[in-house]
A and B are shown apart, each in its own frame.
Chain A
Amino acid sequence: MTDRNLHASIRPRETPALLRQQRNTVLALVMAFVSVLLLIQLWLLVQAIEGASKGERAIVFPVTLASSLCFLGAWRLWHLLQNRQ
């Protein structure tokens, strides 16, 4: 085995580039997921406001936590999309 082949074999493999159609699918999926997360967050915000109005304070903190998780999910997907060419 030559040095070049040896280096080629131990070089970390690059992620294969996605085909155009695959990219479209990934993009559409990410957009769909983020949209669903947004709808869930909107619902959570309404629940938080309603809970605060009713004086049911116990509901507000779990709702804030759930909204944070949704945002993290959306941000992660967006980040994935930005790093993927």
Chain B
Amino acid sequence: MPNVSPRWREDFPINWEDDHYVTRREFTTFLTLISGALLLGTGLVGLREWWRRWRAIRPAALHIAQVSEVPVGGVKLFHYPTPDDPCLLLRLSADRFVAYSQKCTHLSCPVVYRAGDQQLHCPCHEGRFAVENGQVLAGPPRRSLPRIVLAFRGEDIWATEVEG
């Protein structure tokens, strides 16, 4: 009996296995596309950083609180220089205010104020910063917390600049 292919074979001439077969050249093309995607991802991170830096070059002064609003030992959260940058305003004594970025310099977890220890504490990896100057006291962070420069105009407290 002669080997006659069925009628449907004319409409579906490609085997399932052949359709799913990936040649090495195709696989290399796929790898190159992934390389492009990784470059795109890295480029986006770079662009985002460039954008953040460009926006933060000369931040405008921001009114953050009134003196009477924060009790001694109290904390107020604000955002400076952009809405994506949380910061802490601390009142250490009646006439002493300090402010720092709330992002831990290790992996950007938010730090919290511990009045008992006079430290800023990062609960993620136990990083600790001195409340007086923002310097690292313990844990994995290697850089001090960025300090927010404050200005006082009467009863008003303004953030004017980021240091560090």
> B143 contacts A81, CB within 8 Å?
no
* CB of B115 within 8 Å of the partner chain: no
Total B residues in contact with A, Cβ cutoff 8 Å: 29
> A48 contacts B45, CB within 8 Å?
yes
| B20-56 interface bits toward A, Cβ cutoff 8 Å, 1 = contact, 0 = none | 0000110111011011101101110110111011000
> A37 contacts B42, CB within 8 Å?
no
User: Could you tell me the distance between the alpha carbons of A67 and B131 in the complex, rounded to whole angstroms?
Assistant: 39
User: Could you tell me the distance between the alpha carbons of A27 and B27 in the complex, rounded to whole angstroms?
Assistant: 11
> A71 contacts B108, CB within 8 Å?
no
Give chain A nearest CB distance to B46 CB in angstroms: 4
- Collect the chain B residues with CB atoms within 8 Å of residue A63's CB: 42, 46
Give chain B nearest CB distance to A57 CB in angstroms: 5
> A38 contacts B35, CB within 8 Å?
yes
A74: which of B32, B43, B106 is its contact (CB, 8 Å)? Answer: B32
Count A/B pairs, Cβ under 8 Å. 93
B45: which of A27, A60, A70, A78 is its contact (CB, 8 Å)? Answer: A60
- Collect the chain A residues with CB atoms within 8 Å of residue B143's CB: 54-56
* CB of B105 within 8 Å of the partner chain: yes
Question: In the complex where A34-B28, A57-B49, A82-B25 touch, is A75 in contact with B35 (Cβ < 8 A)?
Answer: yes
The size bracket of the interface on A is: 35 or more
A48: nearest chain-B partner, CB-CB: B45
Give chain B nearest CB distance to A69 CB in angstroms: 10
* CB of A18 within 8 Å of the partner chain: no
* CB of B146 within 8 Å of the partner chain: yes
Task: Show 27 residue pairs from A and B whose CB-CB distance is below 8 angstroms, ordered by the A residue.
Answer: A27-B24, A28-B24, A30-B28, A34-B31, A41-B38, A44-B38, A44-B42, A45-B45, A48-B42, A48-B46, A52-B49, A55-B105, A56-B143, A57-B53, A60-B49, A61-B49, A64-B46, A68-B39, A70-B39, A71-B38, A75-B32, A75-B35, A75-B36, A78-B28, A78-B31, A81-B28, A82-B25
Q: Which 7 A-B pairs have the closest CB atoms?
A: A64-B46, A41-B38, A74-B35, A78-B32, A71-B39, A67-B42, A48-B45
In the complex, given contacts A54-B105, A78-B32, what are 7 additional A-B residue pairs having Cβ atoms less than 8 angstroms apart? A27-B28, A31-B27, A42-B38, A45-B38, A50-B107, A63-B42, A81-B25
